[in-house]
Amino acid sequence: MIVPLSVDDVAILDGLYNPKCEMGLRNLCLIHLMLDAGLRRSEVINLELSHVNFDHNYIIVVNGKGSKDRTVPLAPRLKKMLYTYAIAYRPACDHEYFLCNGNLDNTQLTENAIKMLFSRMIKHTELKRLYPHLLRHTFATAYIMQGGDLESLRIYLGHTDISITQKYLHLATQYGTLNYDVYKLDKKFFRRYS
């Protein structure tokens, strides 16, 4: 059973980290790349500085699942976090990967570092159901609940088959009926162009 993160759940996670220090900001960037852009854990790890376009507000996911590239909108709040991190902490890194292990070890972020981060988040909160892909599930469910269309979501998530994306329609319907206060995505995702 997938129970997406609520507004309060995300506030608890955000409250764990100080955005004014390197590791706190790095952790917030990591969380919100999954939550506000729908990236997979491996896509966060492999995100490079050149894949984030701050001028035109998008992220290019290169070699996502199935070796496919896609473009995802960069929400203003996530943009601010990523930009601050890039300016303050990226110059110390000697590689192109966006997120670093940090502190004395500025190597590429690792899967093990993410596992340890989520273990600490579970330990310090009541969110025992927390795991990295839940943030992506939350993004997708919130997108549908806030009026997003299935085809755009399929593209944002990088699904090749719409039937994979359709499970989020079921989740959104279920949680919408229950008036569940799922995390809110930025309005940027719901602009319509004529």
Bridge partner residues of 60 (DSSP): 71
- Rounded to whole angstroms, the Cα distance separating 151 from 8 reads 29
Domains of the chain (ranges, CATH numbers)? 7-124 (1.10.443.10), 132-190 (no CATH)
Active centre residues (catalytic): 40, 65, 133, 136, 159, 168
Quick one: pLDDT at residue 92? 64
Neighbours of 15 (CB within 10 A): 10
Contact of 185 with 16, CB cutoff 8 Å: no
- Rounded to whole angstroms, the Cα distance separating 130 from 9 reads 10
- 194 residues of the chain, pLDDT tens digit each: 889 999 999 999 999 999 999 999 999 999 999 999 999 999 999 999 999 999 999 999 998 777 789 999 999 999 999 999 999 887 666 778 899 886 657 788 899 999 999 999 999 998 999 999 999 999 999 999 999 999 999 999 999 889 889 989 888 888 888 889 999 999 888 766 54
Quick one: pLDDT at residue 1? 80
- Rounded to whole angstroms, the Cα distance separating 151 from 148 reads 9
Q: State the burial class of residue 94 (Cβ atoms within 10 Å of its Cβ: 0-12, 13-18, 19+).
A: exposed
